[in-house]
A = this chain, B = another copy of it.
Amino acid sequence: MAWLGQPVLIEELLFNTEHGIVDQSLHARMGAEPTNGDGFGLGWYGSGSGPAVYRSVAPAWADANLRELAAHIESPLFLAHIRAAIGSPVQQTNCHPFRHGRWLFVHNGFIADLHLLRRELMLAVDPALFAAVEGSTDTEVVFHLALTLGLEDDPVDALEKTVGLIEAAADRRGIAGAVQATFGVSDGTSLWAVRYATEGRARSLFASAEVESVRRLHPDNPRFQRLGADDRLIVSEPFSDLPGVWREIPESSAVTVRTGGVLEERPFRPRIPSTPADRPELAPAT
């Protein structure tokens, strides 16, 4: 889940909401996995330089420190992620969000048969970034590919190229359904979210509706009345079943949330990046 808006105590959204993300760590209703107990992470923008990242291998529901931090840190922009490990070890360096400079990155989903693709994908990572990959998740590889392909200039474009590159590599090996993903990205000012699957249905993704209409629909809800015009939430799973509060982000699309509560939507179309002139070794074998 991700928040962009007025500064709030993080616990407001992590703990003090029905079906919040910490609840979901124990009892997800829509996720592929009902239990997401293999660590979690929280990245936020606020005091100090660049984003902070707190990552833990404890289940989110059981981490005393997470409660403390959430209850005592205010932030206008943060991302939280709960993990259900699919094969890779439960360790802090495998917990999201991943960070590069002022950028944060989270991912729900997977790269199919990563062990068959890992070497080729790591070769496509900018050599200067190669040693920055500290863990063993698919997500960290995806993030460093996207950084290689221009994430800092245009996040959605870079992710389209990244997914295209992965799908091409998977195709060459006969791996089906290469990418299943919702991605979340931020630079501390804006927030980008992508929903996409190579095959079949992509994991769920929702954005909170315009504050004005949420307030009008639920005039008696004090929490909603406190929301400002600039506040937006992006979540994998709605916190509540209240009508009109959430809008589903369509499959194969990307949204950008900008300061001021602006929400822009566009299609997400993976494509194979052109091989850079100085790295011919990356050209797909013909």
Known contacts A122-B122, A134-B136; A49 and B62 CB within 8 A of each other: no
Closest residue of B by beta carbon distance from A53: B68
Contact-residue size bin, chain A (C-beta under 8 Å from the other chain): 35 or more
Known contacts A91-B93, A119-B131; A62 and B47 CB within 8 A of each other: no
Cβ of A101 under 8 Å from chain B:
no
- In the complex, the answer to whether A56 meets B47 with C-beta atoms within 8 Å is no
CA distance A53 to B135 in the complex (A): 20
Within 8 A of B (CB), among A21-47: 26-27, 35, 37-38, 44, 46-47
Counted per complex, copies of this chain come to 4
Cβ of A65 under 8 Å from chain B:
yes
Known contacts A68-B54, A119-B127, A130-B118; A62 and B48 CB within 8 A of each other: no
Q: Mark A73-97, 1 if CB is under 8 A from B, else 0.
A: 1100000000001001111110000
Which residues on the B side are within 8 Å of A107 (C-beta)? Answer: none
Q: Mark A42-73, 1 if CB is under 8 A from B, else 0.
A: 00101111001111111100101100110111
Within 8 A of B (CB), among A123-146: 123, 127, 130-131, 133-136
- In the complex, the answer to whether B114 meets A85 with C-beta atoms within 8 Å is no
CA distance A66 to B112 in the complex (A): 27
Known contacts A131-B118, A136-B134; A47 and B72 CB within 8 A of each other: yes
- In the complex, the answer to whether A46 meets B72 with C-beta atoms within 8 Å is yes
Most B C-beta atoms less than 10 A away, residue of A11, A48, A49, A69: A48
Which residues on the B side are within 8 Å of A74 (C-beta)? Answer: 47-48
- In the complex, the answer to whether A48 meets B73 with C-beta atoms within 8 Å is yes
- In the complex, the answer to whether A55 meets B64 with C-beta atoms within 8 Å is yes
CA distance A44 to B179 in the complex (A): 40
CA distance A97 to B202 in the complex (A): 40
CA distance A148 to B90 in the complex (A): 27
What is the distance, in angstroms, from A266's C-beta to the closest C-beta of chain B? 32
Cβ of A115 under 8 Å from chain B:
yes
Which residues on the B side are within 8 Å of A53 (C-beta)? Answer: 68
Q: What 3 A-B pairs are tightest by C-beta distance, nearest first?
A: A52-B72, A48-B72, A115-B131
Question: A residues within 8 Å of B by Cβ?
Answer: 9, 11, 26-27, 35, 37-38, 44, 46-49, 52-59, 62, 64-65, 68-69, 71-74, 85, 88-93, 114-116, 118-119, 122-123, 127, 130-131, 133-136, 281
Given contacts A26-B37, A48-B71, A89-B91, 9 further A-B contacts (CB under 8 A): A9-B48, A38-B59, A47-B72, A47-B73, A52-B72, A69-B69, A88-B134, A91-B93, A118-B130
10 sample A-B contacts, Cβ–Cβ < 8 Å, listed by A number? A9-B47, A27-B35, A38-B59, A47-B72, A64-B89, A89-B91, A91-B93, A118-B130, A119-B127, A134-B136
